[in-house]
Amino acid sequence: MKFKGNRVVGMKPKTRLPIVFFLCFCFFLVLLFGYIIFSLDLNRNRSQRKFLQKFPEEEGDSFGHGETGDSSISSIPFQVLSWRPRILYFPNFASAEQCLSIIGMAKSKLKPSSLALRKGETVESTKGIRTSSGTFISASDDSTGVLDFVERKIARATMIPRSHGEAFNVLRYEIGQRYVAHYDAFNPAEYGPQSSQRIASFLLYLSDVEEGGETMFPYENGANMGVGYDYERCIGFKVRPRQGDGLLFYSLYPNGTIDKTSLHGSCPVIKGEKWVATKWIDNQELEK
């Protein structure tokens, strides 16, 4: 007996098509069921993430606080720019109006910036290292409350009480003016015994700069160390000033030793003018 074409054993030709459709339908149901399960799981995860994100912001959900604590939860956006040294960037830390107010307080009080001298140094021998002009203003001397607001916000951002902060050093850099690379912490071997040490520095940029004036870190991530670096060169990692933004960097490691990568300076202003308010933060509570 001859057979034409391929046949399924025991199956009549007329029954093939319905069975194929049935199998396809079953496969479709399996896919549909799997998709529904996957979608439910995905939506559940999204809901959990959304809940976790919103939970701290709900009214009445903040913890009870101590006498010196805050009454509500707040957040201050920041970006870690570097871990060596530890550098954090705070966009829109202060408003343009607040920045202009601080500039107005300082303008009539500016004097040539000075330096803390190492053993054997003189004012004449260090001439040209720091060519800006500036003045110190305490938040308690500001009747507008702007510096008080900024100082409190810096304390929250750094999580170091404001009682550890020095007065604001408001600086102006004109064309060609700069600050050669230096440390904000004082090495006792160079400056003698220190009653307190600067842990960190917070820079609030009060103006934009058309060109130049960057804050530079030549030793960022260990670069240029041990190669006879010229302190007057403006090289390395740079942060461009932008009005209202804040820059925080740490001069000490958690164990209290000086972070050698925290060397920094201010590049010369090429075009425009640079205004900045510096808040140095110490490891000891300071007398007011």
Closest CA to 144 of 97, 76, 191: 97
- Taken in order 21, 24, 26, 32, the sign of the CA dihedral is negative
CB 162 within 8 A of CB 155: yes
Q: What is the pLDDT of residue 15?
A: 59
Counting as low any pLDDT under 50, the low residues of the chain are: 1-9, 47-59
User: What is d(CA 98, CA 149) in angstroms, rounded to the nearest whole number?
Assistant: 10
Q: What is the pLDDT of residue 50?
A: 46
User: What is d(CA 254, CA 271) in angstroms, rounded to the nearest whole number?
Assistant: 38
Domain ranges (residues) in the chain? 15-55, 79-282
Q: What is the pLDDT of residue 69?
A: 87
CB-based burial label for 101 (10 Å; 0-12, 13-18, 19+): middle
CB-based burial label for 250 (10 Å; 0-12, 13-18, 19+): buried
pTM (2 d.p.):
0.78
* Per CATH, domain 79-282 is 3.30.70.380: no
